[in-house]
Amino acid sequence: MTTLFRPSRRRLLTGAGTLAAASAIPTGWAIAQAKPLKVGLMLPYSGTFAKLGENITLAVELLIAEKGGKLGGRDVQIIKLDDESKPEVGPQNAERLIKRDGADVVIGTVHSGVQMGIHKVVRETGTLCIIPNAGANAVTRELCAKNVFRTSFTNWQPGYGMGLALAKKGIKKAAWVTWDYAAGNESGAGFREGLETGGGKVVQELKLPFPQTNFQPLLAQIPGLDVEVVGAFFAGGGAVQFVKEYKAAGLKAPLTGSGFLTDGTLEAQGAAADGLETALHYGDGIDNPKNAAFRKAFKDKTQRDADVYAVQGYDAAQLLAIGLEAVKGNIEDEANLYKAMRAAKIDSPRGPLTLSASQETVHNIYLRRVENGQNKVVGIAAPNLADPGTGCKLA
């Protein structure tokens, strides 16, 4: 059997395509190309991360619309699955999307725990996966895989950037507050590492299970810690509530952390977020033509303001488009598809975006301050920051 007529791994998984392969009629690739490319979006559309999943989806749809509804010359069919940010059903949801619904590529997800379930399944099936948010370090470190790319961040990156910025300001004593799961814990480890570069310390970590929001027992402990700042990881609905309750508690230590604390949340947080400084790979007012065009197009199409999640979704679709254009829509040509994706130079609203050898983002981590309802960029906490990719053998 020639490569040209090799039945796709995904069609084998679903059982379709067997007839064409068996009859050896030169229809395999031609038929596959005539069929729409199935892009599976496995994202949260309910719960505390619902808005994050929605904005990623809207931005993926925006990029596809800008490309005339085609990627690499192929029509695109989007299949959506609400993963509800539930890690316990992550693997079975990913299997449904790939094996039952026949997704050729998975764009997902937001929650680091759910990502580990997707990762297991895409590694087993060899399905292309582009991660548009979840920062779980392992997927581009010791568990990296040639079919897995990320256009968002590792949990380590923004935490480390914030810690570095505080170290430069001479901060010596901090606390870390978070949901107790990979995103919060790995961000906290990055924050600690950054702070330690200046001799600072995280003296206490305060945690509650995801997605609980009973913050009062944690907030009550902060005055007794006598810290100069409090770093935090929360996102979505949980971040809205945490920032409001922190402000209402009248605590003297300034609140800071990974920029998810104030991204996509400012309207709901109102004055409670004013003046907060955080670190992230995006800021509302980044001054480049791509950001201006993207923000306008996103607003025109969705009546929403763009945020970091929309940017990450748009870049996931941009990366997929670059790969598919290189292989003229033939997603089975994995060698050339992955080669083009690895070499991609993405014109991102965040600024130039490239991928490291572990297929992970290399980008600026900006220092931002909330002013007039925006995350205004006030500096660069860590320029061109690459994750260490520890344990990844992709070269």
Interacting positions 141-200 with ligand BEZ (CB under 6 A)? 155, 183
- Binding-site residue total for ligand BEZ (CB under 6 A)? 11
- The verdict on 32 binding ligand BEZ (CB under 6 A) reads no
Contact indicator for 131, 109 with CB cutoff of 8 Å? yes
The closest alpha carbon to 105, from 135, 155, 64, belongs to 64
The closest alpha carbon to 363, from 355, 348, 353, 373, belongs to 353
Q: Which stretch in 54-62, 132-140, 352-360, 378-386 sits in contact with ligand BEZ by CB under 6 A? A: 132-140
- The verdict on 111 binding ligand BEZ (CB under 6 A) reads yes
Minimum gap (Å) between residue 48 Cβ and ligand BEZ = 9
- The verdict on 43 binding ligand BEZ (CB under 6 A) reads no
What radius of gyration, in Å, describes the C-alpha atoms of the chain? 21
Give the phi and the psi of residue 308 in degrees, each rounded to 5.
-60, -35
- Nearest residue (CB) to ligand BEZ, 74 versus 111: 111
> CA-CA distance, 377 to 375, in Å (whole number)?
6
- The verdict on 260 binding ligand BEZ (CB under 6 A) reads yes
> CA-CA distance, 158 to 165, in Å (whole number)?
11
- Nearest residue (CB) to ligand BEZ, 246 versus 309: 309
> In the set 41, 94, 134, 230, which binds ligand BEZ (CB under 6 A)?
134
- Nearest residue (CB) to ligand BEZ, 133 versus 151: 133
- Nearest residue (CB) to ligand BEZ, 155 versus 291: 155
Name the helix (H) or strand (E) containing 41.
strand 37-43
Q: Which stretch in 31-39, 108-116, 168-176, 190-198 sits in contact with ligand BEZ by CB under 6 A? A: 108-116
- Nearest residue (CB) to ligand BEZ, 90 versus 349: 90
DSSP string, 248-282: HTT-SSPEEEEGGGSSS-HHHHGGGGTT-EEEES-
**Helix, strand or coil, per DSSP, at residue 188:** helix
Token pair of 21, please? 């392969």
Q: Which stretch in 33-41, 109-117, 196-204, 270-278 sits in contact with ligand BEZ by CB under 6 A? A: 109-117
> CA-CA distance, 120 to 61, in Å (whole number)?
26
- The verdict on 58 binding ligand BEZ (CB under 6 A) reads no
Contact indicator for 139, 131 with CB cutoff of 8 Å? yes
Interacting positions 195-234 with ligand BEZ (CB under 6 A)? none
Asked if residue 211 has a cis previous peptide bond (ω within 30° of 0), the answer is: yes
Minimum gap (Å) between residue 385 Cβ and ligand BEZ = 16
Q: Which stretch in 20-28, 127-135, 169-177, 371-379 sits in contact with ligand BEZ by CB under 6 A? A: 127-135
> CA-CA distance, 60 to 376, in Å (whole number)?
25
Minimum gap (Å) between residue 342 Cβ and ligand BEZ = 23
In the DSSP assignment, the letter for residue 98 is: I
- The verdict on 135 binding ligand BEZ (CB under 6 A) reads yes
The closest alpha carbon to 229, from 197, 192, 266, belongs to 192
> In the set 106, 110, 130, 321, which binds ligand BEZ (CB under 6 A)?
110
> In the set 235, 261, 276, 324, which binds ligand BEZ (CB under 6 A)?
235
Residues that bind ligand BEZ (CB under 6 A): 49, 110-112, 133-135, 155, 183, 235, 260
